[in-house]
Chains A and B, each alone.
Chain A
């Protein structure tokens, strides 16, 4: 932990895991969606569900979905803000197996028709983790620039992505590859040291065999 994990974040209370972390979960979910959300289904589990209302977890997640940062004073009024901005949402408590005590499953629909389903959790101190994206386990923090590529599991995709990054002077910090079965659907989760322009990623999206590219830029 660096010293600004010890002192800080500046946030709206009452809880860094159940409020500030929840806002960051909402913010990360809309980054994964890639456009303005119009509909949200949120399932809270574990401790999030148990103390959620008292800690404003529900209002905090909606605030994040509206783009508010963890210290935004409008967070307690996010439900009213959502109505003004046209975001329809439903929140319920549920059981999410094998998950961290502070977990939310968020299904979003965007204004241009994009959809995403992500399971995220709040680790404490305002830090969060993306556990699954569209059903695939990715387990990344989303804190540094992250490229997530969904592709068909055939030779060449990793080289293509790595080559494109190298050409643009982007240094790879971590790379995680997983697939559901040999020759099935694969996911690449690449955390980089530098931001990459969205346009450079459009090339990736057009490659044969790549089904989806998600990018989380530096906040």
Chain B
């Protein structure tokens, strides 16, 4: 049975003296009736797909609607000038988040993590660490297990689809997953991983799903940036010893409550938020030929 709470995973780690990622790996082996080699191979090929997808960004592509395309390149050029507020490392995380979001919109190959709309968050941080900070592949794979365990708990207690719970369930979930992965890579254990994930989700509580013209483009591409950068800040806070006063499992439950309270207009119907602005409605009319 998949883990139903962060507390459960941490308890298992303490009892069996294992790491968070190991607990998730062992559970996968039991759930899918397989072995460690097969599981890691599968995770490894997923990582390679993420890496390939990130590095095959095409700056000349534009989405069918024309709303996105080339923005990742623009960001990269600006970061390279060396004068950005975020600096090089975070600048490249932002650039990669944009690039992946755009690739998704342009019907390129991506890895849903946990969804296609949020596919930019995890690779933005992991690929940047891999390439710029030389984190080795084995650690990245372990980190992916950490993130998957967090995602499983969120999916079990709340949701991971914008249509069900708003963008807090997609970008929010991806951000929590990435924060946990980052906390692990920094040397954190169960408490830090849980703290990072909890803070990340808490920070994005209430985020709505308001796709302009119903497309996974505006504001979706740029929301991948907030997901990634939020994960970085929360992982750093956790490493500094900070955590929310609210336990992570309760934060996840709160996210579910908020998601249930959100009106349908803010849950992937394209009828509220950015989608319902005068410009948003105009774009919809022009693209779909309807009001």
Binding site for B on A (CB under 8 A): 1-17, 19-20, 47, 50-51, 53-56, 71, 73, 75-76, 101, 124-126
Contact = CB atoms under 8 A, between A and B. Distances in A.
B109 A10 contact: yes
Contacts of A73: 108-109
A138 B287 CA distance: 37
Given A1-B155, A11-B112, A51 B215 contact: yes
Central interface residue in A7, A53, A73, A125, by most chain B CB within 10 Å: A7
B116 A15 contact: yes
Contacts of A1: 2, 152, 155-156
Nearest to A123: B161
Contact of B216 (A4, A8, A14): A14
A104 B169 CA distance: 26
A7 B112 CA distance: 6
A-B interface, 5 closest residue pairs, ranked by CB to CB distance from nearest: A13-B104, A6-B151, A3-B148, A51-B214, A14-B216
A46 B121 CA distance: 29
Contacts of B163: 17, 47, 101, 124
B113 A7 contact: yes
Central interface residue in B103, B115, B213, B288, by most chain A CB within 10 Å: B115
Contact of A2 (B28, B122, B177, B215): B28
A20 B46 contact: no
B38 to A, nearest CB: 11
Given A1-B152, A12-B107, A54 B112 contact: no
A71 B109 contact: yes
A1 B287 CA distance: 36
Given A6-B148, A13-B105, A75-B107, A126 B216 contact: no
Nearest to A13: B104
Given A7-B147, A15-B216, A19-B107, 17 more contacts: A2-B31, A4-B46, A6-B151, A6-B160, A7-B43, A7-B112, A9-B111, A11-B110, A12-B107, A12-B109, A13-B109, A20-B116, A53-B288, A54-B214, A76-B107, A101-B163, A126-B112
Contacts of A125: 112, 114-115, 160-161
Nearest to A54: B215
Contact of B46 (A7, A56, A124): A7
